[in-house]
Amino acid sequence: MKLFERLKADAAPQWADYTQHDFVEQLGDGKLPLECFKHYLVQDYLFLIQFARAYALGIYKSPRVADMRMSLEGVKAILDVELELHIELCGKWGMSRDEIEQAPEDTPTMAYTRFVLDAGMSGDLLDLQAALAPCVIGYAEIGRQLSAKGCDNDTNPYQRWIQEYSSEAYQSLANDFSSWMDGTADDVMTERRYPRVLSLFEKACRLESDFWQMGLRAKV
């Protein structure tokens, strides 16, 4: 069994809370208040800056050049592409680049990102991957599920977001990440270590749920 599938099964309640969160449901049926989405999107921009640091940590932590290149793809995807997409998307809703970059980090943003960075710094590459996995692979599952239900229709104001994460490009990136984590686990995973890896995964799922909840709380 792939490590990700095992983690997902063993953290089933946390995984369900995260991937079937109210925020996701409302985003899927288009009823999510725009204020909630905008707050989420700005925080996700600040989140991505920290995630680029986490992928950079992956380069630093990699025992092999091939691993370094996998992490480099993650850094590039964020710094060269995703940040600008967020600026564009936010621009459509009248938010300026300055407004986004100057926004204060909300607590759930700090909580999740610093947790991942510390998990990676204090542990090894597998610990970092386990803490990153709920975000990287979870968004792919959410995108795929919403798309399968037809939520990415023209009437949904969040169509583009769903299309982004259900896209072949993103699905492929998530699959590559999962295989990369398997490769690392083949080298360094032991059964006695597994509970610690699972604990990182579970905590990251909980912190993802808190991140959605932060979006819902933004309703005016």
Residue 38 interacts with its own copies (CB under 8 A): yes or no: no
Q: Mask: binding to its own copies, 81-120, rule CB under 8 A, as x and -?
A: --x-----------------x---x-xx-xx--xx-xx--
Q: Mask: binding to its own copies, 122-161, rule CB under 8 A, as x and -?
A: xxx--x----------------------------------
Q: Rank residues 121 and 148 by Cβ distance to its own copies and give the closer one.
A: 121
Handedness of CA 79, 188, 182, 112 (dihedral sign): negative
Q: What Å distances lie between residue 136 and 2, 96, 116, 131, 171, CA to CA?
A: 15, 27, 12, 10, 10
Burial (CB count <10 Å: 0-12, 13-18, 19+), residue 213: middle
Burial (CB count <10 Å: 0-12, 13-18, 19+), residue 33: middle
Side chain identity at 149, as an amino acid letter? K
Applying CB under 8 A, which residues contact its own copies?
A: 49, 52-53, 56-57, 59-63, 65, 68-69, 71-72, 75-76, 79, 83, 101, 105, 107-108, 110-111, 114-115, 117-118, 121-124, 127, 186-190, 192-193, 196, 203, 206-207, 210
